[in-house]
Amino acid sequence: MEDKHLALAEFNQLFGFKDREQCAYYAVFDGHGGVDAATYAATHLHVALSRQETLQRDPVTALKQAFTHTDHMFRGKAKREV
């Protein structure tokens, strides 16, 4: 199976966020043509999201920035492995 998933019901506690609205993180990653990108995203996207300063006030922008960062990092990893 090329898909990966991640469920973090206690997102705030995992990253030590205090005084924030409770958040959960649920994601499914479709590994088109291989599992590498899905595995990388399942391992790194939630961490990149947690580091976005805009997460609390603008979660849509924070998620876009986290996706962009994770994609950039994966592409760099893939180039190094060629």
The residues spanned by each domain of the chain are: 4-80
Q: In percent, how much of the chain has pLDDT > 90? A: 61
Q: What is the DSSP string of 46-59?
A: HHHHHT-TTTTT-H
Residue 33 has pLDDT above 80, yes or no: no
Q: What is the pLDDT of residues 50-68, one digit of tens each?
A: 999 998 889 999 999 999 9
Q: In this predicted structure, what is the pLDDT of residue 73?
A: 97
Q: In this predicted structure, what is the pLDDT of residue 71?
A: 96
Q: In the structure encoding, which two tokens stand for residue 82, read together?
A: 């060629």
Across the strands, what pairs with 19?
none
| Rounded (5°) CA angle 33-26-68 | 60
pTM for this entry: 0.87
The stretch 12-29 carries a mean pLDDT of 86
